């Protein structure tokens, strides 16, 4: 069954790979990102790219109104925009921390609020929120990123309960280590804020660990496969943990306790 799908954050990595797969399957895919120039390949495949800043209310209103005017509905919303703000809590300016939440949490929430009435009227729909295995665990230098993803997990769980009676599914996607530009942005941030000074040693260890594991994550195709399953499922699971390390790391966090998990994580960045 052909569906109208809105993907927020479709210019690269997981979003772009999944958009390609969904377009090829015959779905109507609206691909949204700040970087319109990076989505022309999706347009060539039959997708509909639109420029939007997830922190700009006017942009969000325009995108949703455009889709509703043309299609009359939105069957699937995938909130996939986000980035990783890394650096020591002591070093990161609070304005930067606020921006992390504006993108990873509040922008996502605004898009969702504007789409819900149309799904509720249709008594159907699926909302997919990209969290992370980092929404269930933590790593050094990632306090603000993990805080945003932990918040998204709780927010999504509440949303699922609120929308269940209207026939709307809420799904949390928890990727593990995926080969995308995310790691490079994270590395740039941690070096920018904490590359010199009191936390230089831990940052150097983290950079060495990133370099050692560079290119060893899962390909974005594993996420595209998961999104395909979610979109086409009559009753999707509430969570999809996909990609390298996702399942074992979350399992360790849940069952091993704080001190042992702390030791494991710190050993990984020595």
Q: Report the SS3 class of residue 83.
A: coil
Dihedral sign, Cα of residue 218, residue 223, residue 224, residue 228: positive
Alpha-carbon gap, residue 86 to 90, rounded angstroms: 11
Q: Report the SS3 class of residue 2.
A: coil
Dihedral sign, Cα of residue 157, residue 117, residue 55, residue 218: positive
* Pairing of the two strands 239-242 and 76-79: unpaired
Query: Would you give the distance in Å from CA 213 to the centre of its chain?
Result: 21
Give me the pLDDT at residue 254, please. 95
In the chain, what are the domain boundaries? 4-268
Alpha-carbon gap, residue 236 to 246, rounded angstroms: 19
Alpha-carbon gap, residue 63 to 51, rounded angstroms: 8
Alpha-carbon gap, residue 229 to 132, rounded angstroms: 18
The catalytic residues are 11, 131, 145, 149
Close Cβ partners of 270 (under 8 Å, ≥ 6 residues apart): 205, 209
Class of 4-268 in CATH: alpha beta
Q: With CA atoms as reference, report the closest residue to 24 among 42, 4, 10.
A: 42
Give me the pLDDT at residue 97, please. 98
Q: With CA atoms as reference, report the closest residue to 183 among 13, 11, 9.
A: 13
Per-residue pLDDT of the chain (270 residues; tens, 9 = 90+): 899 999 999 999 999 999 999 999 999 999 999 999 999 999 999 999 999 999 999 999 999 999 999 999 999 999 999 999 999 999 999 999 999 999 999 999 999 999 999 999 999 999 999 999 999 999 999 999 999 999 999 999 999 999 999 999 999 999 999 998 888 888 888 899 999 989 999 889 888 888 888 878 999 999 999 999 999 999 999 999 999 999 999 999 999 999 999 999 998 877
Q: Under a CB-based contact definition with an 8 Å cutoff, are residues 86 and 186 in contact?
A: yes
């Amino acid at each position: 069954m052909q569906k109208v799908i809105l993907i927020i954050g479709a210019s690269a990595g997981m979003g772009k790979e999944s958009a390609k797969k969904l377009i090829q399957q015959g779905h109507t895919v609206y691909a949204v990102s700040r970087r319109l120039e990076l989505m022309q390949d999706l347009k060539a495949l039959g997708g509909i790219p639109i420029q939007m800043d997830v922190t700009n209310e006017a942009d969000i209103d325009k995108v949703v109104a455009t889709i509703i005017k043309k299609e009359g509905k939105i069957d699937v919303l995938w909130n996939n925009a986000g980035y990783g703000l890394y650096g020591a809590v002591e070093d990161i300016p609070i304005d930067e921390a606020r921006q992390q939440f504006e993108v990873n949490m509040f922008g996502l929430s605004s898009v969702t609020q504007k789409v819900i009435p149309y799904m509720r009227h249709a008594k159907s729909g699926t909302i997919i929120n990209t969290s992370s295995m980092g929404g269930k665990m933590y790593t050094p230098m990632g306090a603000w990123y993990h805080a945003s993803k932990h918040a998204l997990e709780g927010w999504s769980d509440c949303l699922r309960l609120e929308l269940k009676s209207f026939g709307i599914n809420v799904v949390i996607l928890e990727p593990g280590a995926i080969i995308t530009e995310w790691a490079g942005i994270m590395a740039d941030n941690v070096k920018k804020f904490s590359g010199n000074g009191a936390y230089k040693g831990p940052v150097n260890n983290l950079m060495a660990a990133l370099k050692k594991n560079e290119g060893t994550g899962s390909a974005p195709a594993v996420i595209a496969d998961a999104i395909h399953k979610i979109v086409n499922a009559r009753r999707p699971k509430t969570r999809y943990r996909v990609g390298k390390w996702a399942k074992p790391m979350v399992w360790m966090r849940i069952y091993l306790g704080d001190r042992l998990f702390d030791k494991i994580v710190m050993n990984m960045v020595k």
